[in-house]
Amino acid sequence: MLSLISIMAVYSATGAIAYKKNMTVEKFVFVKHIIFVLLGIFMIYISHLLDYKYYAGISKILMIITLPLLLYTLAFGTNLNGAARWVQVPVIGLTFQTSDLAKLALITFLARMLTKKQENIKDVKNAFVPIMGSVCVVFILIALANLSTALMLFGVSILLLIIGRISIKQIAIVCVGGVVLLMFVVFLGPRRETYKSRINSFLHPELQHSDKTFQSDHSKIALATGGAFGKGPGNSTERNFLPHPYSDFIFAIIIEEYGTIGGLAVMVLYLVLLYRCVRIVTRSPKAFGALLAAGLSFSLTIQAFANMAVAVGLGPVTGVPLPLVSMGGTSMIFTSIAFGIILSVSRDVEEYSEKKDKEKVIVGTIPAMG
């Protein structure tokens, strides 16, 4: 359902960019988005076929690949929209956002480490240090180019540490370390002026030049003119003013065209997703499955509500896409893989439940011995 909404919303929001590229909207959307939506659905199917237990081993390989790739992105990454977050894939020429891979790698790796260290989870040297080290290293490498994504990933990591029975004292130490790294990035990082400008624009919009609040102003106009039922599909006017109406501000376009009711419908879908994932977590017979499903579902829903909060003016402008809805090949693919992994955990839960039910039936049919 989110993918279907995505096709309609992106089709409507890409008129201006298609015109700039001298293409029809139909051709642009088909080439750049529908193919990735279909590929995403295919990746959901493929990743759900693999038993989730194998992702424990895959997580080690992903971390080995991710860390040098993040370093390479900082040093030689393609600079788009003022940030070096992308690596260009040779031959095909498509750009690849490494932070999407890093999110998947860190969450699966944390789930594996927390499961493996449960017997000595309070051990500082053998459990706490390697777990904290992986979180902080990935956080700083992402934060230097993409602070909003790094903060969300750090928050998901803290939630996993709590679920994984790390002591409150140790979690507090991780939080203090995260704050220190955050201050370093905000005040000394390469994008410090951008962060300062965005925070000031959010806290004191009346004191800023109109160029500083351009995106948030037009997003609010889209919300205000959408009303309860919206202008109707394809009738957005703010898509011609917002710089990224098909990705960062697609929720504003959805409300402008489908109204408050359409926006609430999208929110409800994410809440249903979160509820279903929590059900999977609580019923999972294995710790790794529960931690894996929890981490991936928290990541998807926190990112979704962060994007929607920015669109309605509850947070400073960030470059966070709306999962499964915003246009973006890398985001669509890795979100779909995460979705597939959650489904793999769900399948194991169902098989476990069926097995327990059969055992109850067998026990119930055995005649009592005199």
Confidence label for 342 from pLDDT (cuts 50, 70 and 90):
very high
Confidence label for 366 from pLDDT (cuts 50, 70 and 90):
low
Confidence label for 365 from pLDDT (cuts 50, 70 and 90):
low
The single-letter code of the amino acid at 91 is V
Q: Determine how many CB atoms are found less than 10 A away from the CB of residue 95.
A: 15
DSSP secondary structure letter of residue 366: S
DSSP string, 16-59: HHHHHTT--HHHHHIIIIIHHHHHHHHHHHHHHHS-TTHHHHHH
Confidence label for 204 from pLDDT (cuts 50, 70 and 90):
confident
Spatial separation of the C-alpha atoms in residues 117 and 302, rounded to whole Å: 26
Entry pTM: 0.88
The single-letter code of the amino acid at 123 is D
The pLDDT value given to residue 367: 60
The pLDDT value given to residue 132: 83
The pLDDT value given to residue 370: 47
For the ranges 27-31, 135-139, 148-152, 299-303, the maximum mean pLDDT occurs at 299-303
Nearest to 145, CA basis, from 63, 70, 66, 62: 70
Residue 74 reports pLDDT greater than 80 = yes
Mean predicted confidence (pLDDT) in 62-81: 82
Burial of 99 per CB tally in 10 Å (0-12, 13-18, 19+): buried
The pLDDT value given to residue 82: 58
Residue 81 reports pLDDT greater than 60 = no
The pLDDT value given to residue 305: 94
Spatial separation of the C-alpha atoms in residues 284 and 297, rounded to whole Å: 14
Residue 316 reports pLDDT greater than 90 = no
Per-residue pLDDT tens digits for 213-265: 788 888 999 999 998 899 998 888 888 888 888 888 999 999 999 999 999 99
Do strands 95-97 and 78-80 pair parallel, antiparallel, or not at all (unpaired)? unpaired
Residue 82: helix, strand or coil by DSSP?
coil
What residues contact residue 190 under an 8 Å CB cut-off, 6+ apart?
144, 145
Do strands 95-97 and 83-88 pair parallel, antiparallel, or not at all (unpaired)? antiparallel
Spatial separation of the C-alpha atoms in residues 144 and 134, rounded to whole Å: 16
List Cα–Cα distances, 19 to 31, 148, 249, in angstroms. 15, 30, 19
Mean predicted confidence (pLDDT) in 158-177: 85
Percent pLDDT > 90 in the chain is 36
Nearest to 295, CA basis, from 114, 140, 64: 114
Asked if residues 324 and 2 have their Cβ atoms less than 8 Å apart, the reply is: yes
Mean predicted confidence (pLDDT) in 338-358: 86
Nearest to 83, CA basis, from 28, 129, 146, 139: 146
For the ranges 98-112, 196-210, 318-332, the maximum mean pLDDT occurs at 98-112
Instruction: Please state the separation of Cα 16 from the chain's center in Å.
Output: 26
Mean predicted confidence (pLDDT) in 288-298: 93
